[in-house]
Structure 1
Amino acid sequence: MIPSELVPTFGLDGSVPIPSNQLLEHAGRLKGKVVLITGAGRGIGKETAIQFANFGAKIVIGDIDLVSAQETANTVTSAGGQAIFQNCDVTVWDDLVDLYNLAIAKFGSVDVVVPNAGVPETSFFYNVCFDSNGRPQEPHLREVEVNLKGVLYTAHLAQHYLRVHAGQESSTKPLKAIVFIGSMSPWASYSPAPIYTATKHAILGLMRSVGPVLNNNGIRTVCITPSFADVASSEVLFPTVIRVAGVIIYTVSHPDPAISGCGYVLADNDWKVLKVPREEFKAGVYKLLDERVSFLLK
């Protein structure tokens, strides 16, 4: 269950704290909506799929681990929900096209897209490796492939398929959204994982860049930035996947159009959820540069 107690009423400069008991306040709007989630076999993606289904959404699961994807789908259907799944490597363009087409074929439309698939840093950036001839070897960049390229692929297709209904192009209907999954690492400059941090910094930049254009087309964009989400227990400092899923539901279901373009920060499981309004991204140390660049682009 999402914690019902109110979070503290104070926040960082420019941020807006959101009480935990408001996260699911408008979740009834999700009934009948089609939600496509990549990487939904475990962790945040799995819990998000389950929570959306609990409120009547139809779930489309894409995951490179087909066994885990099926387990998530089974959890949803055994509780009376609707879910389909398909093997999907987000770095493979055709896999994603097939996943979207599956959603259209089965449910007739796509309403919400969560490009959740991602990998942690698996290499050590600071260790330069050499081949047998003493030449520096190319670094391992799987994180860039999955966390950035995969999200770009997913979002690029989303802007089309969110406008498709039963195979036909149509005007965008209410409650259309792309929810990007970022990280606390860009806010904190997490030195142990520079490649991962760079990809998540890019996701925040992607949301900010595409937000104004997609918003004009009726598609909401937000970026959720949790710290290390704990999968196993709710008795930890890090935010649980249930809490992260609750914030995702909030950003999709809340009727206020001003939500689009905002960031949502979850530092830990007990602290407040902070909304960072899109206007506040221009404050602080970047304000002077932003004003200068905006002037030059006029």
Structure 2
Amino acid sequence: MTAIPDDILFAYADRVKDKVVIITGGANGIGKETALRFASYGAKVVIGDLDVARSTKLVSDIEQTGGQATSIKCDVTQWDDTVALFQLAIAKYGQVDIVVPNAGISEAGDFETVKFKDGIPIKPGMLTIEVNLLGVLYTTHLAQHYLLVNQKHGDLKAIVLIGSMASWSGIPKAELYTASKHAVLGMMRSLHIPLELKCIRIAVIHPFFADTAIVPIPARLFLAGIPLTPVPRIGGAIFYAATNPDPATNGCAWLLPDNGPVFLVPKEEFKLGVYKMIDDRVNSLLVGAKGLHYYSRLLRDLWSIAGKPIVTTGLGVFLAKTVWDNKELILHNARTYIPQ
């Protein structure tokens, strides 16, 4: 892992000037800090939150300092609300450049206790999953479309997800929260390559317990004497993950384990034990997938330029040569994936 000191987190701040940033749950805590940070460097901020009063106040505060912002009431568990958030950004600013699906809650309800009505088990509450996972899925799904609206070559485009230490380790009495945060990390890893092909960055931030209202009183009592992660540093990590231009940092995790610095976890360090075995096999498939993506574009362009006869003839020659040149790799993969 690589430590990222605080004074580096805004090294690429010039990249956000006039960019449009959507933040869900942006009226309080981490979302508010992130909105203020982006606005301070010239970004146009669009806030979606159920807390209309605080959202309106935040927009006013940003505008009073010369920034640009707008807000809308948004329940991220409601598809229509989330669509309206993106539509507002397009209507007001004409584009979307960075999306931060930040809205989240702590454990709601008691998953361990089965409750009954008339002797029949009743359905447990799933609000934590609905906000922390379904809401993030809705927001990320829409981001994949709206980030491409009016996109120009070389534009900064990014999605920054909010994970947790619970993305890596189980938290007793927080089963739904842990499940949702594991899922967020998995989604980021799944989307990394498809989004990279569209020139969209993706990352996930993993803070330790932060000094925000999301931490319940019992957890605060348990953590008494243990330093919490500073909210400004979390906002800085989100900013850095979105703006860092290095392709090697795309698809990575960013840990804030305590009161220390931000740590970059390279993709290669996700892979230990069984995970490494699975990853080795997946990587050999992805090499082929990337090659197919390239050659499909190549054939499409050749078809449009030279026409069907030349492309068809060339394809036959190309495939024959490719098979011959890669016969050892093909045999190796066959031995790997065909049961012995």
Structure 2 length as normaliser, TM-score?
Answer: 0.77
Which residue of 198, 222, 235 maps to 1:245? 235
Give the deviation of 1:294 after TM superposition. Answer: 5.7
CA distance in 1, matches of 2:24, 2:115: 33
Instruction: Give yes or no for contact 1:230–1:236 (8 Å, CA) kept in 2.
Output: no
Is 1:94 the counterpart of 2:75? The answer is: no
Give the deviation of 1:236 after TM superposition. Answer: 6.9
By percentage of residues, which structure has more helix? 2
Provide the residue aligned with 1:266 in structure 2.
256
Provide the residue aligned with 1:112 in structure 2.
98
Gaps in structure 2 of 5+ consecutive residues: 214-224, 287-332, 334-340
CA distance in 2, matches of 1:98, 1:296: 38
One-letter amino acid of the counterpart of residue 195, structure 1: L
Which residue of 245, 248, 267 maps to 1:278? 267
Provide the residue aligned with 1:194 in structure 2.
175
Q: Secondary structure at the match of 1:164?
A: coil
Is 1:58 the counterpart of 2:47? The answer is: no
* Percent of aligned pairs with the same amino acid: 51
| Number of residue pairs the alignment of both structures matches | 276
One-letter amino acid of the counterpart of residue 216, structure 1: L
Provide the residue aligned with 1:150 in structure 2.
135
User: Pairwise mapping of residues 1-298 of structure 1 onto structure 2 (< 5 A)?
Assistant: 15-131=1-117, 133-165=118-150, 170-171=151-152, 173-231=154-212, 237-269=227-259, 271-291=260-280
Give the deviation of 1:231 after TM superposition. Answer: 3.3
CA distance in 2, matches of 1:296, 1:47: 41
CA distance in 1, matches of 2:142, 2:283: 29
Provide the residue aligned with 1:6 in structure 2.
none
Q: Which has the larger radius of gyration?
A: 2
One-letter amino acid of the counterpart of residue 143, structure 2: A
One-letter amino acid of the counterpart of residue 125, structure 2: H
1:197–1:31 CA distance, 2 compared to 1 (3 A): same
Provide the residue aligned with 2:221 in structure 1.
none
Instruction: Give yes or no for contact 2:167–2:184 (8 Å, CA) kept in 1.
Output: no
CA distance in 2, matches of 1:293, 1:28: 37
CA distance in 1, matches of 2:142, 2:70: 19
> Larger relative contact order (C-alpha < 8 A, sep ≥ 6)?
1
1:284–1:276 CA distance, 2 compared to 1 (3 A): farther
CA distance in 1, matches of 2:183, 2:177: 10
Give the deviation of 1:287 after TM superposition. Answer: 1.6
One-letter amino acid of the counterpart of residue 198, structure 1: A
Instruction: Give yes or no for contact 1:172–1:217 (8 Å, CA) kept in 2.
Output: no
One-letter amino acid of the counterpart of residue 228, structure 1: F
1:278–1:89 CA distance, 2 compared to 1 (3 A): same
Instruction: Compute the RMSD of aligned alpha carbons.
Output: 1.9
Instruction: Give yes or no for contact 1:172–1:219 (8 Å, CA) kept in 2.
Output: no
1:109–1:126 CA distance, 2 compared to 1 (3 A): same
CA distance in 1, matches of 2:86, 2:134: 17
Give the deviation of 1:263 after TM superposition. Answer: 0.2
CA distance in 2, matches of 1:186, 1:110: 27
